[in-house]
Structure 1
């Protein structure tokens, strides 16, 4: 059977088009990949610069433990104020929530206990004044006797006696000054200011009113006294509590089972329920030495900065404890992992320009890195950037 010339020409044209199409397809597909076989892909030398290869290194992964916590006052910057004297409260000065400075008056108490040190001061002032008068007389006497002795009008013994009287008077003044200083200090202890002490020394008028003052700067966080209430000196309950609120304590309750992974210095990430959108970070300062017999939890404490006073005592918090559990594992960048549903894949360079597709088992994620538990080892060369391009070409 003979074929017509026109039919043969058409077949030759179709064949030529097929060859051209194959060449075009080959050129397009080979732009990234020179060849592939099974789980291997070979890239062209011209395209290798689009890929970043990194060696797998070990990374210490942190374990995150979750605990509940509560905000409280910084007990290292908190004090309670009591009255050293018995008496009746006659005036409340500092208010709850008020900011006070050291020495600020808090409360006034009518107490007979403050009269003896005041009387001692008045007596000490009188003793000092008398001693100074005696010193003035002794100086005059010594000067007069010395002049007489020099003029041969007095015996040496008389001059020596005058000198002895002068020395004794000087000693009496020093003793009186020491006693007065001690009395002034006792008045400071009971709440008298230097101005009040000076006025008492000058006028000699005593008062049964004692002022209890703030020992530290801070905020009045509690007041447990009322006008007319009788306080019993050292046996009385605290009148005020003052706390420096520039920092607060966070107490987290950590289960006993988690304590093995927790260390002093581990970082706490704290989120307070009442303060939406705000978080705090602080290192663990103290791990408690006692476990609760009922809850089997141990208190872990940290100090949180509170410059704006947003943190309040008794606020509830959720605490994340980041701790290194002592093990290292191979780690790869997140962008190096191809995720296929429940499967994870990385590309490993097994020789120059040749990459192998490997399925891996991932563990924890930390700061842009995945822990790899199976599939690769430390020292392997992986595609850190460009894995998605190799994967796409492999799938074609």
Structure 2
């Protein structure tokens, strides 16, 4: 007897350990098969008073297939039980076990009232201030005799000589002016008409020189020196000594770089937050840690359809010449947020494009998807205008995995609930001709069923489970209830012997 008792003790411990493993693993282990055997031997799976009720069993591969009793799929995997409280609902709420929460790495945070860092960040490039570009383009025809500034990029001062030219037109105008001036000063007082003619000739010569931007009497009559109109650097130089130029040819292009632009590309959704006149900060990769103050001068009226951005012009001083045209720049256009709002970490929001959702912690491992309306998005937090209150706890890590589980359970609900609603129950009387437990079916001879307009006949019915026919012998008069589960499937869910009391109770059927 002692060895037998020891053996029973070992078996009991092994069963308890296997049951614990099955509960912890979500029902994927072999104990599910044991549950199926128990169901076959009893009217219902044995559940203690402290155990939760099993609602149904779902497909282990996530397919939209459920079963009221334990079963296996085509690959031999046990269906997973869904307990009361874990069942799907129309909100998509999902419950996750503590062990799985730790495996998934779920983290939570509370919604807090704060001012969001609402800075509009953009990238751009340093450009020359277009209003500070000057072309040196003579208005007359001539030849370049000598260059005093001979390289692109050379700095120049206002009034500094750039090049000297020879122009027959200038020579003619200068000589006319000199002759007219000599005639007007050399004529006697009695030659008033000659003096007036000389003055008119001199005035015409001066006017031509003024239109050519050449000061009368500057240099000798044959050669003129052209100088820089501003302080700056030479951006372009087309001049070479001996080159002939036509009127209007831009020989030098000089830019004043004491003030420059930054053209920053701002995304379409941020344009409403950019205002002309606001301050901005610019940083450049060339000068780490150094910030340059700027001002929003202009928002361009066009949008780049490919990048969905609009250029915004920033103006900033460049007294030391550190900012060079073409440099890559980072701009921060708006640094002040609005009034404090309820905020959550950016990682808490699942944005599908059509709606934004967060998962609210409901306790005991339950998470409910909550649609929210977003405000400004900061670098770390985002405003919640509607859908959450301060102090609500939300998931900030592994929320995509919980979202997938929630969508699965909602899909299962959409399949399971209509099936339950569509199943119609009918009652009838008759007797069993034969029972085939291998196919879980019976051959039944039944009386007329008015609700289905069926006459008395013999036909096959499925059995909801093997226990339905327990204690029933073929040929005995019985009352039975069955469900129409669609597609011609009629399943008997309950059978009772037709003794005197039952015959009186079910006589109306």
Aligned to 1:392: none
1:98 corresponds to which of 154, 160, 185: 154
Equivalences for residues 14-33 of structure 1 within 5 A: none
Distance 1:259 1:123 in 2: 66
Does 1:294 pair with 2:294? Answer: no
For 1:273, the equivalent position in structure 2 comes to 285
Gaps of 5+ in 1: 1-57, 139-168, 201-205, 333-361, 377-396
CA distance in 2 between counterparts of 1:295 and 1:219 reads 34
Q: Is the 8 A contact 2:157 2:232 kept in 1?
A: yes
- C-alpha offsets along residues 28-71 of structure 1, whole Å, 9 cap, x if unaligned? xxxxxxxxxxxxxxxxxxxxxxxxxxxxxx99866212211100
CA distance in 2, matches of 1:126, 1:363: 79
Distance (whole Å) between structure 2 residues aligned to residue 180 and residue 117 of structure 1: 9
Among candidates 213, 218, 243, match of residue 227 of structure 2: 213
1:85-234 → structure 2 map (5 Å cutoff): 85-95=140-150, 96-130=152-186, 133-135=187-189, 137=190, 169=192, 173=195, 176-177=198-199, 179-190=201-212, 192-193=214-215, 196=218, 206-207=221-222, 209-234=223-248
Is the CA contact 2:184–2:195 (under 8 Å) kept in the aligned structure 1? yes
8 Å CA contact 1:190, 1:212 repeated in 2? no
The answer for the alignment partner of 2:265 in structure 1 is 253
SS at match of 1:258: helix
User: Which string of whole-angstrom CA distances, capped at 9 and with x for unpartnered residues, describes residues 140-190 of structure 1?
Assistant: xxxxxxxxxxxxxxxxxxxxxxxxxxxxx3x86567446535523533554
Residue 225 of structure 1 and its aligned partner are, at CA, apart by: 1.9
Task: Tell me what 2:339 maps to.
Answer: 328
**Cα distance, 1:288 vs. partner?**
0.5
Coordinate RMSD, CA, aligned: 3.8
Match of 1:284 among 296, 309, 312: 296
The count of residues paired between Structure 1 and Structure 2 equals 246
2:275 aligns to what SS in structure 1?
coil
SS of residue matched to 2:329: strand
Q: Which has the higher helix share?
A: 1
TM-score, L = length of structure 1 = 0.53
Structure 2: 5+ residue runs without aligned partners?
1-112, 344-374, 392-509
Query: Of 42, 62, 70, which aligns to 2:125?
Result: 70
Larger RCO (CA under 8 A, 6+ residues apart): 1
Deviation at 1:260, TM superposition (A): 2.1
SS at match of 1:289: coil
CA distance in 2, matches of 1:178, 1:113: 19
Contact 2:295 2:316 in 1 (8 A): no
Residue pair 1:192, 1:211 contacting (<8 A) in 2 also: no
Which residue number in structure 2 is paired with residue 262 of structure 1?
Answer: 274
CA distance in 2, matches of 1:92, 1:189: 23
Residue pair 2:118, 2:378 contacting (<8 A) in 1 also: no
TM-score in terms of structure 2 length: 0.42
Measured against aligned partners, the alpha-carbon deviations of 1:13-36 in whole angstroms (never above 9, x if no partner) come to xxxxxxxxxxxxxxxxxxxxxxxx
Distance 1:127 1:305 in 2: 54
CA contact (8 A) 1:271 1:318 kept: yes
Distance 2:383 2:269 in 1: 24
Could you tell me how far 1:330 is from its partner in structure 2?
A: 5.5
CA drift of 1:284 comes to 0.5
Q: How does 1:302-381 map to 2 (within 5 A)?
A: 302-322=314-334, 327-329=338-340, 374-375=389-390
Residue aligned with 2:188, SS:
helix
Cα separation, 2, equivalents of 1:295 and 1:87: 48
